[in-house]
């Protein structure tokens, strides 16, 4: 998306204004109830408001009720704590809504050229289009809604969706047939079949996801919420049982002190930032131009064990191209070329088209298929061909499939062709055999080019603990050559759609989390089976529906970023939880001595910070507890930096920074605040 590419500061004034208002709106107890920790803080705030009013009306300074001014300050600080927590969540949501507003500008009612049954075209509105309708788009037209190209080829500007200005080619047949509403046709003419009902387009779904309307708490987030609720209950019991001890020690403790102790001991820091962390995780994925259908998918990406990815377009530059024709003994080269072209006319794959392109124009022009039966290429048969009117049967396809065809007919597979196939495969090429009437006439060489820098990317994934598996329809020899050259951990050769499924199921049966990347309809079952299914935006509608992520940039190596975002999300949640709980240590040494120091002088030894007075100690702890939430908002939104240095090293590093830091920072912070507070008390 265009706005994703713009470098803007984290805190934009318009977003801050929107978040400030929502912080107040979110004080509604019905909304606060979803966050048990902050809900109890809100209850404590309400209690302090009542206590403040009662202490004012009582007109005294009783040990239990406390001083009205002190009570009011505590009330304000608790209110600020709740507002800061609400602000963190509201600001994360506001960033998403800002992106949604940008998307709405792209989604607009546009005219559409509806194709009628008779072949005529009538103008209508994009909102009137229904699933199954067909429309025509020509150069300069905006594509009115999502669909699949069923006829033609066009250059399309997708910058409104992806932010990339370079046009892309979309064409009927194959896995690059999907178009998105709001994009613009730059050249040629296409006929598109609508694949989405009004209000269910890709842009509509994106807007709902970005706004957070469709966001559900992830399993980890739910588990942590339950844990924090348990902590809260424990500290409720702690504070209640403190009353008999205080009475036994003849120590009057004010309601303000009880409430302050409770609020400071419960994990308010992570409680206030938990929702913001989850929202920010999906937001970071979106800024990487990846649409996630759930936060669970982002989390799962952070724990991936295995990644399946296609060779073509991922490991190699793009589509394989025909580079040469090798006829068998006794067959003229021009005849092999003619047979190869005839058998490729029904092959809509880029490889099939490259065979026609490689042949000389003179040979192509002289061919006639009048009365012939064309046999299309499919992933299942791995062949294409033609049956000519004179009874001649021509087939082209994977060498093992053609070999079976030939041998079933009782014919011999030529040794010179077998030798040439082995030579092509050993050099990283892909051989396609050609047969006429079940007799081999030669072989076609296809070549791939390994993407530059792909080895480094796979090494990075390996350091993350992710095993890479290349999926290809090539024979094992070719597959092994490319796998070794690219640096993948494993490969699946001569892969059929069910092979991908079986591999995923095998890995999952061993307790591993598997990711799959794909763009074709034949990838849809594997995308649905995988724990993380990443579909290309240029791919078919079936693939996009089956996956739980969509890559807008159509970059198969994008999963590296997705994995890092997932790990970042898990790390951020874990480190801030560690920091929040570690904070409590300093608060113990601040508040507990303050409560009992007057009646038990020996408690003075626990006042290791040398705080000014019991009242200033409690006040300083509450102030720090409130201020630490907005201080950590940038970290919650940006995420903890991830480095592929191994899980153990990461754990040690983060425990040192956020565990030890979570203990040290409050000691320093509370002491500094106390020095200021002591000036006014």
Place of tokens 């004080």: 27
Distance CA 229, CA 44 (A): 15
Q: According to DSSP H, which parts of 375-532 are helical?
A: 399-408, 415-426, 454-463, 476-486, 497-509, 524-529
Distance CA 627, CA 640 (A): 20
Tokens of 24: 């107040």
* Pair 42, 28: CB distance under 8 Å: no
Q: Is 133 a catalytic residue?
A: no
What does each C-alpha distance from 518 to 194, 280, 492 come to in angstroms? Answer: 22, 26, 15
SS3 call for 158? coil
Closest CA to 547 of 301, 195, 318: 301
The CA-based angle 451-457-461, given to 5 degrees, is: 145
Closest CA to 611 of 623, 599, 628: 623
Distance CA 98, CA 400 (A): 55
Distance CA 272, CA 254 (A): 26
Q: What is the DSSP letter of 657?
A: I
Closest CA to 165 of 297, 1, 310: 1
The CA-based angle 548-311-445, given to 5 degrees, is: 150
Region of residue 5 (phi > 0: left; psi between -120 and 50: alpha; otherwise: beta): alpha
Q: Which of 310, 347, 555, 615 is catalytic?
A: 310
Strand 147-157 to 189-194 pairing = antiparallel
* Pair 662, 581: CB distance under 8 Å: yes
Q: Which residues are catalytic?
A: 310
């Amino acid at each position: 998306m265009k706005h994703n590419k713009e470098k803007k500061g984290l805190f934009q004034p318009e977003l801050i204004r929107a978040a400030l208002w929502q912080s107040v709106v979110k004080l509604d107890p019905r909304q606060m109830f979803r966050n048990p920790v902050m809900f109890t803080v809100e209850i404590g705030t309400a209690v302090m408001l009542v206590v403040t009013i009662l202490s004012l009306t009582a007109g005294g300074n009783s040990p239990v009720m406390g001083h009205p001014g002190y009570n009011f300050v505590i009330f304000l600080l608790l209110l600020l704590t709740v507002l800061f927590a609400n602000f963190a969540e509201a600001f994360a949501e506001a960033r998403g809504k800002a992106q949604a507003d940008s998307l709405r500008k792209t989604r607009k009612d546009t005219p559409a050229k509806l194709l009628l049954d008779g072949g005529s075209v009538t103008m209508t509105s994009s909102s009137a289009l229904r699933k199954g309708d067909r429309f025509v788009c020509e150069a300069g037209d905006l594509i009115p809604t999502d669909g699949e190209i069923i006829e033609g080829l066009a250059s399309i500007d997708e910058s409104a969706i992806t932010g990339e200005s370079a046009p892309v080619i979309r064409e009927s047949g194959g896995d690059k047939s999907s178009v998105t509403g709001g994009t613009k046709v730059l050249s040629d003419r296409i006929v598109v079949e609508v694949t989405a009902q009004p209000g269910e387009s890709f842009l509509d779904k994106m807007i709902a996801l970005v706004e957070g309307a469709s966001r559900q708490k992830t399993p980890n987030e739910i588990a942590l919420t339950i844990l924090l609720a348990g902590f809260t209950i424990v500290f409720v019991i702690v504070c209640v049982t403190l009353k008999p001890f205080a009475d036994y020690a003849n120590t009057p403790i004010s309601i303000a002190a009880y409430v302050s102790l409770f609020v400071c001991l419960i994990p308010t820091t992570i409680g206030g930032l938990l929702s913001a962390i989850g929202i920010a995780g999906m937001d970071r994925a979106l800024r990487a131009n990846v649409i996630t259908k759930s936060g669970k998918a982002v989390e799962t990406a952070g724990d991936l064990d295995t990644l399946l990815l296609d060779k073509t377009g991922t490991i190699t530059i793009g589509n394989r191209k025909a580079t040469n024709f090798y006829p068998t003994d006794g067959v003229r080269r021009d005849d092999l070329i003619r047979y190869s072209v005839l058998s490729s006319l029904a092959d809509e794959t880029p490889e099939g088209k490259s065979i026609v392109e490689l042949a000389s124009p003179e040979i192509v022009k002289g061919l006639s298929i009048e009365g012939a039966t064309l046999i299309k290429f499919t992933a299942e048969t791995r062949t294409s061909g033609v049956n000519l009117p004179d009874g001649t049967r021509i087939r082209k396809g994977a060498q093992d499939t053609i070999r079976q065809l030939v041998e079933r007919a009782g014919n011999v597979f030529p040794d010179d062709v077998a030798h040439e196939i082995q030579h092509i495969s050993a050099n990283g090429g892909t051989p396609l055999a050609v047969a006429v009437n079940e007799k081999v006439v030669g072989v076609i060489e296809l070549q791939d080019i390994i993407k530059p820098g792909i080895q480094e990317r796979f090494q990075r994934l390996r350091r993350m603990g992710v095993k890479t598996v290349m999926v290809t329809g090539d024979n094992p020899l070719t597959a092994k050559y490319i796998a070794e050259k690219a640096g993948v951990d494993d490969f699946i050769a001569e892969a059929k759609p069910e092979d991908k499924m079986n591999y995923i199921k095998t890995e999952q049966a061993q307790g591993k989390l598997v990711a799959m990347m794909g763009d074709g309809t034949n990838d849809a079952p594997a995308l649905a089976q995988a724990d993380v299914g990443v579909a290309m935006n240029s791919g078919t509608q079936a693939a996009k529906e089956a996956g739980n992520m969509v890559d807008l940039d159509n970059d198969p190596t994008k999963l590296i970023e997705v994995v890092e975002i997932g790990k970042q999300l898990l790390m951020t949640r874990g480190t801030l939880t560690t920091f929040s709980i570690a904070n409590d240590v300093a608060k113990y040494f601040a508040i507990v001595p303050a409560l009992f120091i007057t009646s038990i002088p020996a408690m003075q030894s626990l006042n290791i910070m040398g705080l000014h007075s019991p009242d200033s100690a409690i006040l300083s702890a509450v102030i720090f507890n409130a201020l630490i939430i907005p201080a950590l908002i940038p970290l919650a939104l940006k995420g903890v930096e991830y480095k592929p240095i191994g899980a153990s090293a990461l754990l040690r590093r983060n425990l040192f920074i956020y565990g030890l830091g979570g203990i040290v920072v409050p000691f320093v912070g509370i002491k500094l605040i106390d020095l200021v507070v002591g000036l006014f008390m």
